Structure formats: C-alpha cells, structure tokens
Amino acid sequence: MVEILRCQNYSFQYNNSQKLSLNKLNFSVDQGDFVILIGDTGSGKSTLLKQFLPELLTGKVLSGQINSQYSRDANHFAYVSQFVDNQIVMETPKDELEFVLDNQGCNDNEISMRIAEIASYLGIVDLLEQEVSHLSGGQKQLVNLASALVLKPQVLLLDEPTAQLDPVASEKLLQIIHKLNQDFNLTVLLVEHEIEKEVSFANRLMILEKGKLILDEPIKQGLSKIFQAKHYRNYLTQIDRLALELNFKSVDLPLSNQQLTKLISKKTSNLQYVKPENKSKTNSIFSVKNLSFRFDFNGRKILNRINFQLEEGGSYCIVGPNGVGKTTLLKVLTQQLKPQTGKIKFLNKKITNDFYRQVFVLPQNPANLFIKATVKAELEFQLKENHSQKNLSEVLSEFSLEGLEEYSPYDLSGGQQEFLALALGFIKNPKILFLDEPTKGLDPNKRILLSKLLKDFQSEKKTVLINSHDLLFAADYADYVAMMFNGNLSQFQTPSDFFADKFFYTTEINKALRDIFPQALIWKDIKKIES
C-alpha cells in the first residue's frame, strides 16, 4: 500500500492550555485505510483529526511534524465535526453546497451536477430547499457530510458522524462511507465511541489515552487486546463482548450477528436469560393529553394528539427517525413552544409560570446553556444561584470535570460539554430532567457513569425523559421506551417488550438471539448457568 500520511514525534498544545493535547505521536496511514480511533472523552481524538487541516488549529505544534502526500487543504482533506451547528453557514442545504463549490471555482453547470449527485447519494434531496433552522441535528449532519464529499476529497476525517443520526440513517451512512472507501480507495479516519457497525468496515483500530497513542493494530488483534484491558472492554461491540465473556474459543473478531447465533445455539443448555426487575407503579408527576403542534397555521402537524404520563422515579426514553419531532416535543413540553391544542399537567395541576424552576432541559447543543468564561465560573455561578449545599470540588469529581476548571466551556470536547451541562442541571435539583440526546459525545464508560447518575437522581422520586438515538443506552438504562413517527407517539413499554418485536429499532444482541432468547437486549442479559 502507498503511505499518504505520517506523524513523527508529533506534539500539540492548545493556546489556552498548560498540558499537551497530543504527546509524541508516531504512526502512518496508507491510502485506502479505514481507521477507527477510540478513547476516553477528552483524550485528544478530535484534536488529532484537526491536525490534518491546519486552518482548524488554534494552538501550537511543540515537536515533530506531519508529512502528507497531499496538500493539507479542503480540496484533499474533508472534515466533519461532532458539533453539527458549527459548519453550516447558509440558510438552506442547497445554498450551503453552492457556497462550498463556488468557493472552489466551480461553474454553474458543475455545481448543479455535483449537488444533484451528492444529494441523491445521501438521500437529502427533500431537504435541499428547507431552512437549516428547521432541520434536526441528524439532518444537519447529513448536510455536513454532503458538504465534505461534494469536493471529492482524498481523505475523509469524520468526528462522530453518526452521533445524531437515528439507527437506520446511521447504518446507511456507514455503508455509504464503506462503499466510498472500497470503490474509490478513499482513506477514512473515523473518531467514534460506538463501534457496533464500524468494526465491520475498518481495517485498523487506534486508541488515544491522554494524548498518547497506546494502541495501533489491525482490527482483529485490536479488538482482542481491548478485551484484555478492563478500562476499554466497554468499547467492544455487544456481539464480540458476549462471545468473549462466555469464553468461546478461537473466535475470529469481529463477529457477525449470524456467527454469534450459531455459537449460542450450540450452548443453549448451559446459558440462561437474566430477567431485569420490573419497576413498580408510582404516582403521576407529569401528564399530556391530546397534544398537537404545527409551526405554520396551514403546515403539517409535527405533533398529533399525543398522550402519555410520567411517574415519579421513572425513566422514559423516546426513540425514532431524524426529523419526526422528538426535539419539538421536548420544546412544547417545556413551554419553549406553544401547542395548538392539548393539556399539560405537572403534579396534577395546570403548568404555572414557575414550572421552569422545577425542571431542567438539556438541549441538543449543550453549549447554549453556558454563560461564563470558565468551567469553574459556570459551576460556581449555578451553585450560588441555586443555594446548593454541594461544593465545587464535589461537582467536579462527580461529573469527571477535574482538571478542566480554567477551560472555557466552549473549548471542551463534546462529551465534556454534555457532562458540564448535566452538572448544571443536577445543581438545580429539579423534579424532572428533560434530556435531548444526552449520550452524544460520551465514551462507553461515561455512558455507564451517566446511567448511574440518573439512577441516583431517580431514587429521590425524580423523573427523567430522554430523546435518544442510542438504542443500547435506552435498552440498558430506561424503565420505559416509546417510538415517535409521523407526529404520533407509541405507548411506553418496558425495554424487553418494546424491542422484542422490532426489526431495525432494536439492539444487535436482540437481532442475533431473538429466536433463542427473545427478550435479551444486551450482553449482560445472557449468563452461564452455574453448575
């Protein structure tokens, strides 16, 4: 293979930081490589991707160099950020794509042809004339990818590109990227925390830890090694994790669902499904009746006669495709948008003006909540404002923000921003948390920590309502799950009931084992029978 990139003893530091973000990195990339880069939230993964486009850098190279066969510019390296709102500058996707191509000197005919081709390829033709402000986070991410691919780059730098995509759109996107990699020998560097599907397409696995490269292996050997490293075990796919936990011999990683099915079917007499505890009924805290909403008087109904109730101490998760109104629903429930019809009750009473004091809303973009110059100032302000009994050091420790006190909230990684915003919410001590995609940007260990924090919150008879594309988190954490589509919301069901009959909207373990253990959703649901 032809080497196209090489990092030699490369170190980098942000202007506002005293520590190295990247520390003496040494690796090379060949043309056509599909590299998955994983690591803890804030370990330097996004920072590394940005090094290949100097225009994105806001710091200094302290040692080493990057050698590239291509000019390190937007014609050869295409970057898609984890922050979906940071890349779109025009009012519509069509305007955005025209702007990108016009800047590269393309004529009108070429601009029209390229937009037609990429929009058809990514399935965004119907979005081209829509206002960007009306698009969901997932739809914006598809527009960002289109803007990257429309320039026909040699190297694709993807920073959690599926974080805000629904499961079906996510899988389609990865298949497209895989096809580009295979058909055009396009080199792909992909930062991800969730690698359920990605491992089937990649040929290399790399791990960054505190700015240092601690693993760089072919995908098979890399997966085997991270199972041996307890800290990284949760990064494994659910399929591979179950096979390794059950100590199946001589498995060739990564395993497909079909391969796991065959392995498990031979051992069913020695295995059992571990049934989760059912949650007992409690008092209603929040209820919705016949709720409807549309943006324009003659427009389509985004929400159509929605009915549900939330109980004290319960956790509820809403899943569904991009653009079906999940975020709009949260905004209507929390009085940011006014419904056309319907009733909303809190504590069995009509919502009053002080409702916002008793709830916390985490938006898709947590940076919208920040108002201070540093993490420390942000937390201290909220602690004082809410007369909290907690002190700063407690909050920093609880939400894994230690060492980030003097950072600007806007300079944090996506996952760190999520945890800072959640810390602000917990300081408020609300009765209900409304969370819009809270797991995006979080590594698997941070997702487990989030689950624990939310469970502790619920133990005080408080309630959580989440929008999420993260089916694994929904299956493992939520007490009840519902699906939204075409303005309608299904009934909330327990995860085992909700996911059991789904074809696409379910976990990989359920897909693989539904004929053997129909209610199994995650690797922990299957255990060996103790003799």
Task: Tell me the CATH number at 167.
Answer: 3.40.50.300
| Long-range contacts of 102-107, Cβ-Cβ distance < 8 Å, separation of 24 or more | 104/74, 104/75, 104/151
> Which residues contact residue 493 at a Cβ distance below 8 angstroms, ignoring those fewer than 6 apart?
480, 481, 482
Chosen domain end from 231, 247, 266: 231
Q: Cα separation of 318 and 444, whole Å?
A: 20
Q: What is the mean pLDDT of residues 309-336?
A: 94
Q: Cα separation of 124 and 142, whole Å?
A: 7
- Whether residues 502 and 522 share a domain: the answer is no
Is a pLDDT exceeding 90 seen at residue 447? Answer: yes
CB atoms within 10 A of CB 215: 17
Contact 118, 100 (CB under 8 A): no
Read off the tokens for 65. Answer: 């160099």
- Whether residues 163 and 64 share a domain: the answer is yes
Q: Cα separation of 74 and 148, whole Å?
A: 8
Question: What pLDDT does 237 receive?
Answer: 96
> Which residues contact residue 18 at a Cβ distance below 8 angstroms, ignoring those fewer than 6 apart?
none
- Whether residues 256 and 168 share a domain: the answer is no
- Whether residues 190 and 295 share a domain: the answer is no
Read off the tokens for 17. Answer: 């930081």
DSSP state for residue 211 in the 8-state scheme: T
Chosen domain end from 170, 202, 231: 231
Q: What is the mean pLDDT of residues 399-421?
A: 92
Q: Cα separation of 382 and 301, whole Å?
A: 37
- Whether residues 131 and 69 share a domain: the answer is yes
Q: What is the mean pLDDT of residues 28-43?
A: 96
Question: What pLDDT does 524 receive?
Answer: 95
Closest CA to 37 of 145, 159, 133: 159
Contact 513, 526 (CB under 8 A): yes
Sign of the Cα pseudo-torsion (513, 320, 417, 434, in order)? negative
Phi then psi dihedrals of residue 171, to 5 deg: -65, -40
- Whether residues 317 and 383 share a domain: the answer is yes
Q: What is the mean pLDDT of residues 511-519?
A: 95
- Whether residues 317 and 256 share a domain: the answer is no
- Whether residues 385 and 421 share a domain: the answer is yes
Q: Cα separation of 319 and 502, whole Å?
A: 12
- Whether residues 141 and 197 share a domain: the answer is yes
- The whole-chain average pLDDT of the chain stands at 93
- In a 10 Å sphere around its CB, with 0-12 CB exposed, 13-18 middle and 19+ buried, how is residue 71 labelled? exposed
Overall number of domains in the chain:
3
- Whether residues 127 and 224 share a domain: the answer is yes
% of residues, the chain, pLDDT over 70:
100
Phi then psi dihedrals of residue 25, to 5 deg: -80, 135
Cα-only R_g, the chain: 23
Residue range(s) defining the domain that contains residue 52: 3-231
Q: Which one has a higher pLDDT value, 421 or 145?
A: 421
Is a pLDDT exceeding 70 seen at residue 405? Answer: yes
Question: What pLDDT does 331 receive?
Answer: 95
Q: How many CA atoms lie within 13 A of 118 on its CB side?
A: 26
Confidence of residue 419 (pLDDT cuts 50, 70, 90): very high
| Position 222, amino acid | G
The mean-pLDDT minimum among 30-39, 443-452, 496-505, 512-521 falls in 496-505
* Strand pairing class (34-39; 204-209): parallel
Q: Which residue has the tokens 């909220």?
A: 382
Closest CA to 481 of 469, 468, 494, 466: 494
Confidence of residue 531 (pLDDT cuts 50, 70, 90): low
- Whether residues 101 and 173 share a domain: the answer is yes
- Whether residues 162 and 302 share a domain: the answer is no
Read off the tokens for 406. Answer: 């003097």
Q: What is the mean pLDDT of residues 403-420?
A: 92
Q: Which residue has the tokens 């096809």?
A: 179
Chosen domain end from 231, 265, 296: 231
Is a pLDDT exceeding 80 seen at residue 295? Answer: yes
